[in-house]
Chains A and B, each alone.
Chain A
Amino acid sequence: MKGLHEFEVPNDGEICLCEINGRVHSMNYDYANLNAFTDALESYPKIHITRDQLHLVSSGDEGKALFLPVDVSFLKQLTQVYYEQGFTEALHTAASHNQWLISKSSRLILDVLKYIKKVRLIFNPNVRYSGPSLINEYAQARNWLNSTIRCIAWHPYCTKVAVVTCDDSVRIFNSECGALTPLLRCKQQKHVTCIAWRPLSNTEIAVGHEDGVIVWNVDPNSLVVRPSISNAVVLRRLEHRPVISLAWSPRGDKLVTAAACDNTILVWDVELDQTSSLKRSGGSGNILVKWSPTGERLFSCSNTLVFRIWNCHTWDCERWTLPSMGRVQSACWAADGSALLFAAAGDTVLYGAVLDRDNAFVFDAESLEKQACPLFDLTCVDLEGIPFGGPVRQIEADPKGRHAAVLFQDTDCVAVFGVVKRPQLALIPSSLVMGLAEEKPTTISFIQDFGAGSCLTIGWSSGRMQYYPIIYSDLGESRNNKSVNCSSFNSFNAKSI
């Protein structure tokens, strides 16, 4: 098995900027300028979200630290607590005092509440969702709780990117500089975990959060910077929370969501607010769903050893299990949806499974036991004083499935691989992308519609988003023929009108 020592580390003080025709270019980070190598990214927005751009949620407690506590009468204190922190806190305060009747009765009420909660838990185990720390454990983003950029999603056809920041808002950046950046934010949208643009639509984006999903409709012609919730469809089910992953069908008619405390996966008809549930035994929650680019398969993984691959025509599933303890932390479809790359939580091996047995000479394809094979050893190594490798946090592949990028849990660089499907699935080490000093990568994503090759974007802990293009200059011709992007349609309009 190949290991991380096969990677080439850039010279000291230099960072990798791009890869052009298989050659990695790096530069000293004081002079780093991507435009020196390629102009393919000129029209893309430059994103750097600084702390003062964030609208952090204020809890109203900031002023409290400035004041000294004083002795007030019991009743006054109780009313204050009730106004500021609510009924249960007031009960707790009352119970902690020694006012015999009030304290006793409040203790009694607290006990009753406790038992009611226990009974509810028996009937409906999904209400046990405890809070954002659970999301922090399962989310794809590294250090989800504290990172500025939590999630990046590129629009499938246009130069448009949605970025989730830690203030629970989604910002949408367009290609034109000076254009408005709509900010999607509302009271219901708390602890955003995942976002996805709706295919076959220019305007819709699904935002998965703690309580459900909000599908926003962002009109690009509107001058409103903060669209109101009335433009959105709010989807929620009481027992389906927190939504931790979502995926659109390639045709945009179905939305699949997984929740960390619910072992059913829901398939939504967004407009009609109807659901069908995919439910099989194993696990008390699901943490990741990914639809294959061709739309034939759906990957889902539970929070136990089991993960499944669904056939999207019949909705039957193949059950896969990990050999040892753990769960799948991240996965992605590679090589046009015929192969799956995945890594287990806490494990340092990248596995690959080929699902497409299109080899006509294997007659008894069914009898062959399907097995994933270990592709790459990601054990932490120390090259020239920089540690990298270790457990995997997130894997992403570019839309054509020719490149994959791996974000590690503990070390500070992103590994980029080339994916080869024939003669057998293999990963070829390509480059290591590092940030500036003290920067940690938090999330990665590939641009969905990048004509010149593929382009990885990395969100760093400083709030900077970096582009790492992988360009093939000989692709120039075929790009014009193949991809049908928005600009070619505009030219058609210019001609015919």
Chain B
Amino acid sequence: MDQSPSAVTYKDLLLKKLSYSVICSVISQLALLQVYIFFTNTNIFHPLQWISSTFSVFTSISTWLYIIPFITIIFAQSIICAKDYVLKQEYCSTRFQNFLSVLSIRNFVLLILNVVIGSTLVWLFSSLGGGPYQSLIVDCNMLRYCLNEGSFLLIISGIWNGVYYFTKIYVAKKHLSFPVIHQRKLLQFKAQLIPLLKESIISSFWPTFYFIIIYMLWGDSFADHFRNMFGLLKPNDSYIGLQAYFYMWIFGGLYNFNMNLMQFFFNLFLTEPVEFPLQLLPNSLCLQECLNVSEWPIIQNLACYDLNNLALNSKPRRQAFFTLSQPGGHPHNWNSLVESVLKLFKEYTDQIEKSTTVTENLHKAAIPTQTIFQQNFPTLPNPIKSPERYQNFRNMSLVYHTCMDDDITVEVSHIPIRWNLLQSLIDKIKQKVNNAINFMKILLGINFLFGELPQANIQKCLANGYIVIWASQGISDLVCSSLLEDQYGIVQKDLPAIITTLVQLKQALDKLNKIPALTRKMAGYNDFNFKMKNAVNYAVKRSLFNICRTFGKFLNDIPLSKDTVFYLQSLYKV
């Protein structure tokens, strides 16, 4: 919250945040290295010597010759990664698009960087930390060099870690998560450090295990190739001890920890709340505008979060919305805020409605329809659809429709029977061909690759869930505090619009409950979409509830449509 509001553009603000996080991740690498050296030089009986040796290793020129290239790579990596957190994520509607988006040049560069970091990290830590795996080459007998197989194993495992981390974790998890409460950064760091380390060490266990299996199968041929390439000899005892595997696990954990730490710093700095200026000024950021910059999601998130905070905590900042401009006496600040918040809600509502109707249609199409009537009367205006599973029920509506058939046959009988037969024949052939094509699509996996993923749109909506949660809570708190603080009655004129938009949003959100992929049965307990759906739903509900509660007595003076009133009643009912 200590960010000054003087930041002029989005880019300044973002650059500041990103540069802090990049610097912190680079410094954290140095600190980690220092701690590692400290532990490997353990000498309990001579603590002074212990400290001095740590210090001397860390300050020697050779160490820095090792460190500088490593730091450069880390720097490059974090700068490339930074883009991921800031730019709008593209949602791919088919599996094929998903696949293509992974195969980009940027990702390729990142993969290479990950691999390089993985191997250099192992190389750096093992050579600075001392021990049996300090160097890749050992002097075996009489000025002839042999390959140190333990060290070779470790470096190859570093490469493996890089590949594994990139493919398994980095590609999947790039979204920022906002903490529930914002404490000081140091406290957040302290609270997260140990769990992060624990998690990294544990999560590196399985990749290490996989790697051991791979190395057991093909390790010898790797080592042979390498030896041939550099003309090295095979040492007499090429036995790799358990110690090497243990080191491997620890280095894997350290690598994961490094990468997680980098991610943590991005999260920490980017989600830090910013106080946006509230006055509309040319060439400057302001809250009202930032609420709608969907091309910079992080700015939009921060703006909504700021709205939420100011509505809750800060009376002087709330007052900026309840004042009139001088000269002129217009509530410009409030007007622009309402405009952008309502626009935000409307867009979101539209988005949800679009995606829910698409899936509803899909469902309807998926239900096999009875075609007897259609075959007999191809020109029937409204083909009667009755799901097959209800056929055995005594269906009153079906009886009603069969009664209607008499009239329809009269209409249809004008068409010559021969034409009719031909038409039905063509239709039959068409259907057969369609079926065959569909079957081929399924068989060849074309549907699988190019078919529209049903939840892609909804996922896109739900990924923006925080925005709606904070904006709705913020605007409802502002509206509620206006009852006491707004002396000009500025908010009153927009009350119907705000309530109606929120109700529409809530109604659209209710439709999400009907989507099978978003129910608990399908989603299980750990699904982000399922949780976010509930979070948005309940937040909007609470916001409406808050307005109802505060204005309860005056609500009948607000012009609202009957539907809206009815909905509010159902929401508020005890």
> Judging by beta carbons under 8 Å apart, are A267 and B181 in contact?
yes
Q: Could you say which of B313, B520, B538 has the most chain A C-beta atoms within 10 Å of its C-beta?
A: B538
Docked pose: A276 CA to B477 CA in angstroms: 23
> Judging by beta carbons under 8 Å apart, are B531 and A200 in contact?
no
> Judging by beta carbons under 8 Å apart, are B572 and A230 in contact?
no
Q: CB of B574 within 8 A of chain A?
A: yes
> Judging by beta carbons under 8 Å apart, are A230 and B556 in contact?
no
> Judging by beta carbons under 8 Å apart, are A315 and B182 in contact?
yes
- The minimal Cβ–Cβ distance linking A72 to chain B, given in whole angstroms, is 44
* CB closest residue in chain B, given A254: B180
> Judging by beta carbons under 8 Å apart, are A497 and B565 in contact?
yes
Per the 8 Å Cβ criterion, residues 38-70 of B in contact with A are: none
> Judging by beta carbons under 8 Å apart, are A496 and B565 in contact?
yes
Q: Using Cβ atoms and an 8 Å threshold, which residues of chain A touch B177?
A: 274
Q: CB of A346 within 8 A of chain B?
A: no
Per the 8 Å Cβ criterion, residues 231-269 of A in contact with B are: 233-234, 251-254, 267-269
> Judging by beta carbons under 8 Å apart, are A276 and B181 in contact?
yes
> Judging by beta carbons under 8 Å apart, are B539 and A253 in contact?
yes
Flag B173-198 by CB within 8 Å of A: 1 or 0 each. Answer: 00001011111100100010000000
> Judging by beta carbons under 8 Å apart, are B546 and A158 in contact?
no
Flag B544-562 by CB within 8 Å of A: 1 or 0 each. Answer: 0110111111011000101
Q: Using Cβ atoms and an 8 Å threshold, which residues of chain A touch B179?
A: 274, 276
> Judging by beta carbons under 8 Å apart, are B549 and A200 in contact?
yes
- The minimal Cβ–Cβ distance linking A123 to chain B, given in whole angstroms, is 10
Docked pose: A488 CA to B555 CA in angstroms: 10
Flag B519-544 by CB within 8 Å of A: 1 or 0 each. Answer: 01000010000011011001101100
Q: Using Cβ atoms and an 8 Å threshold, which residues of chain A touch B573?
A: 202, 220-221
Q: CB of A484 within 8 A of chain B?
A: yes
Q: Using Cβ atoms and an 8 Å threshold, which residues of chain A touch B525?
A: 234
> Judging by beta carbons under 8 Å apart, are A493 and B550 in contact?
no
Question: Given A314-B1, A496-B556: A230 and B520 within 8 A (CB)?
Answer: yes
> Judging by beta carbons under 8 Å apart, are B542 and A220 in contact?
no
> Judging by beta carbons under 8 Å apart, are A484 and B542 in contact?
no
Docked pose: A495 CA to B555 CA in angstroms: 11
* CB closest residue in chain B, given A495: B556
Q: How large is the interface on A (under 10, 10 to 19, 20 to 34, 35 or more residues)?
A: 35 or more
Per the 8 Å Cβ criterion, residues 316-335 of A in contact with B are: 316
> Judging by beta carbons under 8 Å apart, are B473 and A251 in contact?
yes
Per the 8 Å Cβ criterion, residues 50-75 of A in contact with B are: none
Question: Given A253-B542, A484-B550, A486-B574: A272 and B535 within 8 A (CB)?
Answer: yes
* CB closest residue in chain A, given B519: A230
Q: How many residues of B contact A (CB 8 A)?
A: 43
> Judging by beta carbons under 8 Å apart, are B534 and A271 in contact?
yes
Q: Using Cβ atoms and an 8 Å threshold, which residues of chain B touch A489?
A: 548, 552, 555, 569, 572
Docked pose: A315 CA to B556 CA in angstroms: 40
Flag B304-333 by CB within 8 Å of A: 1 or 0 each. Answer: 000001001100000000000000000000
Per the 8 Å Cβ criterion, residues 186-227 of A in contact with B are: 200-202, 220-221
> Judging by beta carbons under 8 Å apart, are A271 and B538 in contact?
yes
- The minimal Cβ–Cβ distance linking A374 to chain B, given in whole angstroms, is 33
> Judging by beta carbons under 8 Å apart, are A268 and B180 in contact?
yes
Docked pose: A234 CA to B531 CA in angstroms: 12
Q: Using Cβ atoms and an 8 Å threshold, which residues of chain B touch A497?
A: 562, 565-566, 569
Q: Using Cβ atoms and an 8 Å threshold, which residues of chain A touch B309?
A: 313
> Judging by beta carbons under 8 Å apart, are A492 and B555 in contact?
yes
Q: CB of A275 within 8 A of chain B?
A: yes
- The minimal Cβ–Cβ distance linking B19 to chain A, given in whole angstroms, is 25
Q: Using Cβ atoms and an 8 Å threshold, which residues of chain A touch B184?
A: 315-316
- The minimal Cβ–Cβ distance linking B348 to chain A, given in whole angstroms, is 17
> Judging by beta carbons under 8 Å apart, are A202 and B572 in contact?
yes
Option from A254, A278, A484 in Cβ contact (under 8 Å) with B549: A484
Q: Could you say which of B309, B548, B550 has the most chain A C-beta atoms within 10 Å of its C-beta?
A: B548
Docked pose: A288 CA to B546 CA in angstroms: 27
Binding site for A on B (CB under 8 A): 1, 177, 179-184, 187, 191, 309, 312-313, 473, 477, 520, 525, 531-532, 534-535, 538-539, 541-542, 545-546, 548-553, 555-556, 560, 562, 565-566, 569, 572-574
Besides A158-B574, A201-B542, 16 other A-B contacts (C-beta < 8 A): A157-B549, A200-B545, A200-B546, A201-B538, A234-B525, A251-B312, A251-B473, A253-B539, A271-B531, A488-B552, A489-B548, A489-B555, A489-B569, A492-B555, A496-B556, A496-B562
10 closest A-B pairs by beta carbon, nearest first, are: A271-B535, A484-B552, A276-B180, A200-B542, A271-B534, A492-B556, A489-B552, A315-B183, A269-B180, A276-B181
Jot down 24 A-B pairs with beta carbons below 8 A, ordered by A: A158-B574, A200-B546, A201-B542, A202-B545, A202-B574, A221-B573, A233-B534, A268-B180, A271-B532, A271-B535, A271-B538, A274-B180, A275-B180, A276-B191, A314-B1, A315-B181, A316-B184, A486-B572, A488-B552, A489-B555, A496-B556, A496-B562, A497-B562, A497-B565
